[in-house]
């Protein structure tokens, strides 16, 4: 008892959709992380180090091993501010 | 520091006013997180005195440490930068392979022991800085020297 090939077309479409979304999400994660593997288990210290990397290199996952910071690094640390309460 | 930390931090303010001229300038440390983590034990080995000095100053300044310990802080910055500069000069290939491994493995030291061993060896040969993990139990092999590793994620 052979199965007619028309019965398999929907399964092909479903598998293709899953594969497409998986490939898209992994490509997106790769772009977001600059080609490196994603960080996980980020705590407050990691968070502020990622922010410092962004201030140093312009990209959250950017890394640099220069001993001196680029000019302007010492003044680009943002103050967290909120709307004034009256 | 103000009396109350801001909670609803919807915005940030970047104040580009430089420090006043009566405060001596120091070049900020330019290494980012993974190179700093990779070099951290060597920074500790060379700069322990400066770091302890700074922390003691801050403890004794009763909350005014940010202002009163700037001299010690500049020493800490300069010392750390000197270590990074020396490692860059003498062990650049090992250093890069280690911190790139760290960056690819969620910055977990136990995932990059082979690269770390080479870096430790190079830094010890060229700069005489040895990685010592402080406050480890006596008479036990430190974790970075063990031959056999039980946990490792890929």
Tokens of B96: 């890069």
Tokens of A17: 């959709």
- Model pLDDT, residue B2: 52
Identify which of A76, A53, A54 has the alpha carbon closest to the alpha carbon of residue B13: A76
pLDDT band per the 50, 70, 90 thresholds, residue B151: confident
- Residue pair B83/B17 in contact by the 8 Å Cβ criterion: no
Distance CA B90, CA B86 (A): 6
Give the nearest partner residue to A67 out of B13, B31, B99, using CB atoms. B31
Chain A residues within an 8 Å CB radius of B111: none
Q: Indicate if the pLDDT at residue B3 is higher than 70.
A: no
Residue B19 in domain: no
Greatest Cα pair distance, chain A, in angstroms, is 80
- Residue in B with minimal Cα distance to A46: B33
The mean per-residue pLDDT over the stretch B131-153 comes to 88
Residue pairs between chains A and B whose CB atoms are closer than 8 Å: 101
- Residue pair A83/A55 in contact by the 8 Å Cβ criterion: no
- Model pLDDT, residue B65: 87
pLDDT (tens digit per residue) in A28-53: 999 999 999 999 999 989 999 999 99
Domains of chain A, by residue range, sit at 5-61
Residue B110 in domain: yes
CB of A44 within 8 Å of a chain B CB? The answer is: no
Helix axes B70-90, B92-104, angle to 10 degrees: 110
Average pLDDT, chain B: 91
Residue B28 in domain: no
Residue B89 in domain: yes
Measured in degrees and rounded to the nearest 5, phi and psi for residue B14 equal: -105, 110
Q: Indicate if the pLDDT at residue A26 is higher than 90.
A: yes
The mean per-residue pLDDT over the stretch B140-144 comes to 90
- Model pLDDT, residue A81: 83
Provide the 3-class DSSP secondary structure of residue B149. Answer: coil
Which residues contact residue B142 at a Cβ distance below 8 angstroms, ignoring those fewer than 6 apart?
B132, B133, B136
Give the helix ranges, DSSP H, for A1-86.
9-32, 44-57
Measured in whole angstroms, the distance separating CA A17 from the mean position of its chain's CA atoms is 23
- Model pLDDT, residue B133: 93
**End-to-end Cα, chain B, rounded Å:** 44
Q: Indicate if the pLDDT at residue B28 is higher than 70.
A: yes
Q: B98 or B148, which is more confident?
A: B98
The mean per-residue pLDDT over the stretch B53-64 comes to 93
**End-to-end Cα, chain A, rounded Å:** 80
Q: Indicate if the pLDDT at residue A61 is higher than 80.
A: yes
Chain A residues within an 8 Å CB radius of B28: 68-69, 73-74
Which residues form the domain of B117? 33-129
- Model pLDDT, residue A4: 92
ipTM: 0.83
Residue B16 in domain: no
pLDDT band per the 50, 70, 90 thresholds, residue B69: very high
Tokens of B41: 């034990």
Q: Indicate if the pLDDT at residue B123 is higher than 90.
A: yes
pLDDT band per the 50, 70, 90 thresholds, residue B5: low
Residue B144 in domain: no
pLDDT band per the 50, 70, 90 thresholds, residue A20: very high
Distance CA A58, CA B67 (A): 29
Domains: count for chain B: 1
DSSP state of B137: P
Cβ contact A52–B19 (<8 Å): no
Distance CA A57, CA A69 (A): 10
Query: b/e for A21-51, b at 16 or more Cβ within 10 A?
Result: eeeeeeeeeeeebeebeebeeeeeeeeebbe
């Amino acid at each position: 008892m052979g199965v007619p090939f028309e019965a398999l077309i929907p399964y092909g479409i479903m598998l293709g959709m899953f594969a497409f979304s998986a490939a898209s999400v992994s490509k997106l994660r790769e772009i977001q992380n600059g080609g490196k593997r994603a960080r996980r288990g980020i705590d407050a210290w990691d968070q502020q180090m990622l922010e410092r990397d962004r201030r140093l290199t312009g990209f959250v996952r950017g890394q640099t091993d220069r001993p001196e910071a680029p000019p302007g690094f010492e003044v680009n640390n943002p103050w967290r501010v909120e709307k004034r309460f009256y | 520091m103000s009396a109350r930390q801001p909670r609803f931090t919807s915005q940030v303010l970047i104040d580009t006013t430089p420090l006043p001229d009566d405060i001596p300038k120091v070049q900020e440390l330019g290494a980012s997180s993974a190179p700093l983590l990779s070099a951290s034990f060597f920074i500790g080995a060379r700069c322990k005195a400066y770091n302890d000095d700074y922390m003691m100053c801050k403890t004794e300044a009763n909350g005014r440490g940010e202002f009163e310990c700037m001299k010690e802080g500049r020493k800490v910055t300069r010392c750390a930068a000197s270590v990074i500069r020396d490692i860059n000069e003498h062990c650049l290939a090992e250093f890069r392979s280690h911190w790139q491994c760290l960056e690819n493995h969620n910055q977990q030291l136990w995932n990059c022991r082979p690269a770390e061993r080479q870096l430790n060896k190079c830094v010890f040969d060229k700069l005489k800085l040895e990685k010592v993990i402080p406050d480890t139990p006596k008479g036990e092999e430190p974790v970075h020297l063990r031959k056999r590793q039980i946990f490792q994620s890929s």
